[in-house]
A and B are shown apart, each in its own frame.
Chain A
Amino acid sequence: MNQVKDYMYKDITSVNETTTLRRAIRIMRLHRIDAVAVVDKTGKYAGCISAQEVINASVPDYIKSIYNTSFMSRIDQITAHLTNMLDDPITHLINKKCPSLSPTDSMAYAADLLSRNKKTILPVVEEGIFLGWVSKIDILSVVSDKQKT
């Protein structure tokens, strides 16, 4: 069985809930990854913050109520809102209920969980310790990578 532990992306750079949004975005950008794990003071995994959640939060509430936002000719309306949040802690953006995988889960289960939750990436956690990530690309590599069995 193809297990998560054999395919996960073992980078465990993390933030805590007082980290600024600016830093979280910087990590996602420079690490070329869609999410960052949040770890509490005792070293336990506490959730994650994803690029999608940041984008969702950057849209002002009054625009969210309009189904089609294509009328917005300028992206500035979104970025202006985001700019104001950059030096705030990420506390309210943390998804504490983000589904996670265990290292012994099968990659088939990982594919299913990613798909059901409409995610591009999921954290791997074991007994409260954050171990890495599984992304949709890792799912595809199960098929394409003949060396791993």
Chain B
Amino acid sequence: MILTVTLNPAIDKVLVLNQFKVHKLHRLKSSELSMILPGGKGVNVALTLKLLGNEVITTGFTGGYTGHLLCDQLRERGITTSFVFTEGITRTNTSILDLKNETLTEINDFGKEIEHDDVTFFLDNYSRLLHRARMVVIAGSLPRGVNDDVHLSMIDKAREMDIKVIVHTSPDHLDALFDSSPFIIYPDMRSYHKLMGQPCDGIKQFVNVGKEILNRNKKTEYVIFTHRIENVVVVKRSKSYILRPENLKIVNMLGYGDAYLAGFVHAYHTGKPEIDILKYASSAGLTNVENLYKDIRDVSLIDKNIDRIKVEVLA
């Protein structure tokens, strides 16, 4: 079982319009799309992992009718749920994809405030779930009322049971993680160009900052930067990898980082050699951005796209 944690999940309202204009009433046409989907980073990872044939448990905080909608949709797809329901409702994130102008407009709601008692119960429930997990994926933002140290508690509890943890979150929450040494640190750089107080964009800076993170986190094995899809950078102590997709045709970037992460976790558990794990992960990311939906609908395309991923190794 793979346990994915989404502390601040969402219902994703995705609108695919022929053309989006402000100050205009849009009545959807049959050629356009309107989707209501379970969302939040850890949830997206869970959906793709399940589609790839893995058994998955999802946890985090949820609530209200949108919380039930989220959990029902996850269970319908065969995922086991164990969210802590709180008062208040799960947020809705809205994305508008404009096909003519090729723009993506996203409005992410802030989550409801979580009470301290619910955080305590979440960690208790998490400890019980760990007995069934072989890997933990913590992904996404923190809701209000939840401090960074919840990540530390989760990593420590997993380490006591010798379970590997991957953390995929924004630089805001990464400083608190330092010295906790999860298996993989995967910063979500979408709205950020700084990490550890220094500029972090482009291959050279990704490698330098990655090495610095590894120096401080003795048990961390990988630092991954996928933000620039044309140059995905994977930093290890001994070497770094740069993975580049060929003939990339971007249709929709929504869910790209989550698809990459799901691809990594899936390939890791199939026991592939490291280079093949990284190529598979990049291919999952590539496959995701080339389809219209926020998740991969046809996972067989990941295998077909693998040969389009070119690898450069930096000593």
Task: List chain A positions with a Cβ less than 8 A from chain B.
Answer: 9-16, 19, 23, 27, 30-32, 39, 42-43, 129, 131-132
Contact = CB atoms under 8 A, between A and B. Distances in A.
A13 B125 CA distance: 7
Interface residues of B, number: 24
Contacts of A12: 57, 80-82, 129
Given A16-B128, A27-B85, A30-B87, 7 more contacts: A9-B75, A12-B81, A13-B125, A14-B82, A16-B124, A19-B121, A23-B121
Contacts of B121: 19, 23
Nearest to A13: B82
B3 to A, nearest CB: 11
Contact of A43 (B79, B81, B132): B132
A50 B167 CA distance: 36
B112 interface: no
B90 to A, nearest CB: 12
Contact of A30 (B63, B78, B131): B63
The 4 closest A-B pairs by CB, nearest first: A43-B131, A30-B85, A10-B80, A13-B82
Contacts of B75: 9-11
A16 B75 CA distance: 24
B84 interface: yes
Contact of A10 (B81, B129, B130): B81
B161 to A, nearest CB: 10
A42 B82 contact: no
B63 A11 contact: no
Contacts of B128: 14, 16, 39, 43
B291 interface: no
Nearest to A14: B128
Contacts of A19: 121, 124
Given A43-B128, A43-B131, A43-B132, A13 B80 contact: no
A128 to B, nearest CB: 10
A75 B68 CA distance: 31
Contacts of A32: 68
A31 B84 CA distance: 9
